[in-house]
Structure 1
């Protein structure tokens, strides 16, 4: 399989960058799209790279945040038929909380309603294609992580800590093992690996790909995560976006060549 980074925080190959993430996946003769970044930048970069968004069989929204969802209208303008898969709890519900401030973090207002005919809401694990799996979180108590990070959802008029039930992991089967794609890993990259190991017992994990949401995490916590990642037995770690430059540097110190950083335009064969 091949992964092309259409949108990330870091620019490369003469392409534009933004705070957002979008990955173009080529898997067993199919083109897939994970997320659409924060704008139409991913689509412009795809055109510059000679990648046809019109050929994408389906898209996946990793979670209900603006920096992954806000380019969806640009995708639908270029692809007349491919559906987009979301977890059933996705909606305009996500906020960050700081003293005296509630900041909306969800998709553009009205975006999900406007393109409702193209959206496929799934509950629980789902396989849209042989060898391709969408997994929700199965770890209990994730709302505690949301509260600690100041991440909340507005549901039925009530503020509740985000339990990341709107987040899903994209899992691809390959001859060398499973490839996990989780765009922000709000539940923790090691937690996600353990969830996949429980869903696919005995299957090796070739790689985890995505942002790890470490850009504001204290150094000692990043180093502890690196050690837990090593303990999972994952072979490769490919990260960027919300991991942050400092977070990546610390992971690299702990994991060495096991971890690599992605940037806009990077192409990876797994």
Structure 2
């Protein structure tokens, strides 16, 4: 399995890519190519082109959750495919995979829409759409973890605004927040978006779904920005017990959290341009 960071809040030093408050990761496993999130704008397309990655060959577009910093870039992906059709270029029709709540309207702090611009119906015009709350295996080794069971009291957080459902408006606890996990020779690689559901809960679900306790790496947003001390303490205790081989916290994880995590695990630098390979 190989992965490349296309969008993050920062780039690696002396790498001439673009960054923004968002996340997008390109993954290859066997013959399957996966785009995990699309960031906030079109920069993932620009960065991929500089890296020699052909996004028109992506089989699956996986959405970690419906927030704007992970989904608004989908507009650019659809433009890329539309232009390829008009110009007669070869392309793979992608399958969009997400939790059933990922494309609902959301609001927070007076902002009328912080969710995806595109509806499920609109996405169906540009590819296949597969919405699932249970886990879904994308390849023999790579799995969409589905709705995450919230297992730890210290990770529980207040609602993130409101979500507008067919049954009415409710507090948004981001039930669609999920992740990917890949079985490798070194153990599991867990790839997260924002971890609204709790980074420890995500890792536990990955271990359970994959029937593997070893954690080779966790990369992505850990949702640790000005996190309360009791949350940090619980997460540190958890990772001290799990003993991951490496951590690549990024996106929505602040410096204080990274420094704290470095006390119990091998925390490594992450940014646009990072490329990782696992057996």
Aligned in 2, Cα 1:232/1:268: closer, same or farther, shift over 3 Å? Answer: same
**Alignment partner, residue 255 of structure 1:** 264
Q: Kindly state the Cα deviation for residue 195 of structure 1 after the two structures are TM-superposed.
A: 1.6
Aligned residues: 264
In the superposition, relative to structure 1, how do residues 205 and 146 fare at CA in structure 2: closer, same or farther (>3 Å)? closer
Q: How does 1:50-199 map to 2 (within 5 A)?
A: 50-79=52-81, 80=91, 81-97=93-109, 101=110, 104-108=113-117, 110=118, 112-117=120-125, 118=127, 119-140=129-150, 148-156=158-166, 158-199=168-209
Q: Is 1:42 equivalent to 2:44 in the alignment? A: yes
Structure 1 SS opposite 2:202: helix
Deviation at 1:240, TM superposition (A): 0.3
Q: Distance in 2 between matches of 1:143 and 1:230?
A: 18
Alpha-carbon separation, structure 1, partners of 2:164 and 2:151: 18
Secondary structure of residue in 2 paired with 1:242: coil
Please identify runs of 4+ aligned residues in structure 1 that moved more than 4 A.
Answer: 140-147
Rounded to whole Å, the distance in 2 between the matches of 1:215 and 1:269 is: 28
Unaligned runs of 5+ in 1: none
CA distance in 1, matches of 2:156, 2:164: 13
Work out whether 1:242 is the aligned partner of 2:244: no
Distance 1:161 1:217 in 2: 21
Of 194-203 and 167-176, deviating more is 194-203
Post-superposition shift, 1:259? Answer: 1.5
Q: RMSD over aligned Cα, in angstroms?
A: 2.5
Q: CA separation in 2, counterparts of 1:201 and 1:134?
A: 14
Calculate the TM-score normalised by the size of structure 2: 0.84
Q: Whose strand fraction is larger, Structure 1's or Structure 2's?
A: 1
Long gaps (5+) in structure 2: 82-90
